[in-house]
Amino acid sequence: AHKSDDAETVPSRWVIRLTNLLIGLSQERGEKALSEMRARAKPWLTRTKQIDAPLALVPQAQRPAPVPPVMNRPRTLSITKIQTLIRDPYAIYARHILKLNPLNPLQKMPDALLRGTILHTVMEDFIKAASADPSLRTRATLSALARDILERDVPWPAARLIWRARFEKVIDSLLKEEAERAKHGQFLKAEAEGQLELKDIGFSLKGKADRFDLLDDQTLAIYDYKTGKPSSPDVRKSFDKQLPLTAAMASEGAFKDIPATAIGRIGYIGLGSDCGEFLLKPEEYDTANILAEFRQLILAFLSPDKGYPSRRAVQKESFTGDYDHLARFGEWSSTDDPVKEVLT
C-alpha cells in the first residue's frame, strides 16, 4: 500500500525482501515472474483507483429544505420528536415522510441510552413496590432491584459493575427524596402513555410520561428521570418541550387513568452524578400558553410553502444526525442558506 489513512507509507519488509529475491534470481527468471505478476495486477489496481476517483462535473450539494405536499406531512408525532422538528426538520422529513428508518448498529454496546433505560426500569419497579408496601422503601430493596435488573438486561460484566457502583452512590439521596415526595402526595402511574387530539388543526400529539404523582392538593406532579444534566432554561424555552408538552397533555386528560386536573409541579429526578430533584418554574408549564405555541409551530409546518431544512438549529456544530449523509452535509455548511425544493 502506498498510503494508509491518507498518510504516505512504505512496503512491508516481507514485500521488499520477496521483490529483491525475485530480482536476484539467475537468468532473469525472477524478474520476468515479477513483471508478469505486476502486469496481471494492473487491471485490478486500475479498477481500485477508479473507486475513489472524483467524477467530473459533479455539482456541490446545497443545504436542502424540501417542501413536500401538505397531504404527505406527518399528522402525528411523539413528544420526543418535537425538539427534532425544531432543531432538525429534515430528520422529520426523512423519517416520517420518506419513511427511512436509521439502521441499528451491527453490535450493540453499553451506551448512555441503554444505561438510561435500565435506571428507568429500576426506579419504575422500585416506586411500584414501595407504593404498594411502604416498608420496601429501603436501601436493600433498591440495591437488590438494581442488581437483579442489571444482571438480567446488561450482558457486559464491566458495564454492570461500573453502572451499579455509580448507582449505589446516589441511593441514599434518592431514598431521602422519595420519602419527602411521599409526605406530599402519592404515586399514581409510571410509563403512562397518552395521545392528545388537536382536532382544530388536524394533528395528534402522543407521548409517554416517566411518572405521575397525585399531590395532597389534588394537583398532578409529573417527573422525568434523568441520568444527565437537565437542559438550561433558555434551551427549554426554545427547544426542549418534552416536559411542558407532557403537562399540557395531562391537563387535557390525554393520559389513560390520569385525571384531567391542574398541574402542581413538573421536574426532573436525577439518577446520575447530578442526583436531586430539579423543578421547573410555574411559568414554564402554563398549559394554555404551551398549547398555543405548539399549535403555532405545527401550523407553520403545515403551510404549503414551508420547507424542512437540514440542521436548522442544532445545539452544537459537532452534532451528528441520523440523516446528515442523506442531506449531504459536508458539501455545505451551517452558514449556507437552505434551498427550498418543492416536491410533488
Q: Which residues 6+ apart lie within 8 Å of 163 measured at CB?
A: 110, 115, 118, 119, 150, 154
pLDDT of residue 63: 95
* Among 72-81, 103-112, 144-153, the least confident range: 103-112
Does 150 share its domain with 181?
Answer: yes
Quote the cell numbers at residue 287: 398549559
Does 284 share its domain with 331?
Answer: no
Q: What mean pLDDT is predicted for residues 177-201? A: 93
Q: Report yes or no on 221 lying in a domain.
A: yes
In whole angstroms, what is the distance from residue 106 CA to residue 61 CA?
Answer: 29
Does 316 share its domain with 286?
Answer: no
Does 74 share its domain with 204?
Answer: no
Q: pLDDT tens digits, residue range 112-146? A: 999 999 999 999 999 999 999 999 999 999 999 99
Has residue 343 got a pLDDT over 70?
A: yes
pLDDT of residue 1: 66
Q: pLDDT tens digits, residue range 283-309? A: 998 999 999 999 999 999 999 999 999
pLDDT of residue 25: 86
Does 117 share its domain with 248?
Answer: yes
Q: Are 38 and 270 in contact (CB under 8 A)?
A: no
Q: Report yes or no on 57 lying in a domain.
A: no
Range of the domain at 325: 64-103+302-342
- Among residues 193, 189, 190, the alpha carbon closest in space to that of 80 is found at 193
Q: Report yes or no on 81 lying in a domain.
A: yes
Q: Report yes or no on 198 lying in a domain.
A: yes
Does 129 share its domain with 205?
Answer: yes
Has residue 160 got a pLDDT over 70?
A: yes
Has residue 2 got a pLDDT over 80?
A: no
Strand-pair category, 263-270 with 276-279: antiparallel
Q: Report yes or no on 59 lying in a domain.
A: no
pLDDT of residue 61: 92
Has residue 6 got a pLDDT over 80?
A: no
pLDDT of residue 54: 76
Q: Are 92 and 73 in contact (CB under 8 A)?
A: no
Cα three-residue angle 187-192-198, rounded to 5 degrees: 125
- How much of the chain, in percent, has pLDDT values that exceed 70? 100
- Among residues 55, 101, 95, the alpha carbon closest in space to that of 76 is found at 95
3-state SS, 238-306, equals HCCCHHHHHHHHHHCCCECCCCCCCEEEEEEEECCCCCEEEECCHHHHCHHHHHHHHHHHHHHHCCCCC
* Among 44-58, 126-140, 151-165, 225-239, the least confident range: 44-58
Does 131 share its domain with 205?
Answer: yes
pLDDT of residue 9: 85
pLDDT of residue 272: 84
Q: Report yes or no on 58 lying in a domain.
A: no
Quote the cell numbers at residue 2: 502506498
pLDDT of residue 120: 94
Does 314 share its domain with 175?
Answer: no
Does 162 share its domain with 273?
Answer: yes
pLDDT of residue 322: 93
Does 217 share its domain with 188?
Answer: yes
Q: Look up the CATH number of the domain holding residue 270.
A: 3.90.320.10
Q: Report yes or no on 27 lying in a domain.
A: yes
Does 181 share its domain with 97?
Answer: no
pLDDT of residue 230: 87
Q: What mean pLDDT is predicted for residues 159-165? A: 95
By three-state DSSP, how is residue 56 classified?
coil
Does 273 share its domain with 194?
Answer: yes
- Average pLDDT score, the chain: 92
What's the number of domains the chain is made of? 3
Q: Report yes or no on 140 lying in a domain.
A: yes
pLDDT of residue 229: 87
- Band the pLDDT of 205: cuts 50, 70, 90: very high
